[in-house]
Amino acid sequence: MNLVQLATEMPRPRRRVRRCAGGRSTLHFHSRSLREEWSDGGAGGVPAPLTLYLLNATASGSNHGSLQVGGSAPSVSTMGTGWSFTSAIANEYSLMVFGSTPGDASFGASAQPSGAPGTTDCWRTQGTLSGSFAAGTWSFAISLKADLPTRTGNPRVRVWYTSSATGASATEITAGAVAFTAAAWSNSVHNFTVTASLGAAMLASQYLFLQCAWNETTASPGTPTINFQQDGTNSVVTTPNFTSS
């Protein structure tokens, strides 16, 4: 008997499918070496952190900046978003206006961000998200370029989510502003980093928003400008595990 005849005449293995608790099915072959299992349970993703890149682009349907979820890290470029102000500003705050560099008139003594998103003060995910963020550590990195003379201050951020593309009726994940450590630098790029331990959050076809403001802690001479950098390494948010639904 040749191999073809042997394969043809071998009895086909009997199969039995057993339904287990939780929607898991096991296919049993009564042949000693043939066994296969698979899961056909409900929808759900594998928990994994999200990487969110701050882009030099506008999020569609809004005047916010665009927040890229995963994918290839963007190249480095200088945004037209930041601040330009005089030495009259010290220990004052100003909300970001995406695509602009507001001056002295935008600053005030009240700590910012102080409330829900406006229409221009955030980066927003390009599409909606559905799923849950685990409680845990969020890592924030923001890169800013300053010209001469020296700038001294720090960014401050809050994280929100809502089904509105413009940021209306948002729910906060942070518990108030997360402040980076202040730094003094000039004619160069400075990379700010901070972490925050935040509670769990569940999104249902909702956008995620990163709201941002600047705190000028010490008066600086002249009228220098600081600009955000698009940078796949140094302008990025890393979340705790996110499980899609």
pLDDT tens track, the chain, 245 positions? 444 344 444 444 444 444 444 444 443 433 333 222 222 222 368 999 999 999 999 999 999 999 999 999 999 999 999 999 998 899 999 999 999 999 999 999 999 999 999 999 999 999 999 999 999 999 999 999 998 778 899 999 999 999 999 999 999 999 999 999 999 998 999 999 999 999 999 999 999 999 999 999 998 887 879 999 999 999 999 999 999 99
What CA–CA distances, in Å, run from 9 to 4, 12, 140, 178?
9, 9, 65, 72
Q: How far apart are CA 218 and CA 227, in angstroms?
A: 18
CB 92 within 8 A of CB 85: no
One domain, residues 86 and 176: yes
CATH code, domain with 219: 2.60.120.260
**The tokens 């190249």 sit on which residue?**
75
Residues 53 and 34 in one domain: no
- The answer to whether residues 153 and 186 belong to one domain is yes
**35 and 108 part of one domain:** no
SS3 label, residue 137: strand
Asked if residue 125 and residue 30 are part of one domain, the reply reads no
Tally of domains within the chain: 2
Considering the domain architecture, whether residues 17 and 35 belong to the same structural domain is answered as yes
Write out the residue range of the structural domain in which residue 75 sits.
Answer: 48-244
Do 69 and 101 fall into the same domain?
A: yes
Same domain as 207, residue 86: yes
What distance in Å separates the CA atoms of residue 80 and residue 90, rounded to the nearest whole number?
A: 23
* Beta carbons within 8 Å of 76's beta carbon, 6+ residues apart: 229, 230, 231, 232
Q: Are residues 64 and 26 in the same domain?
A: no
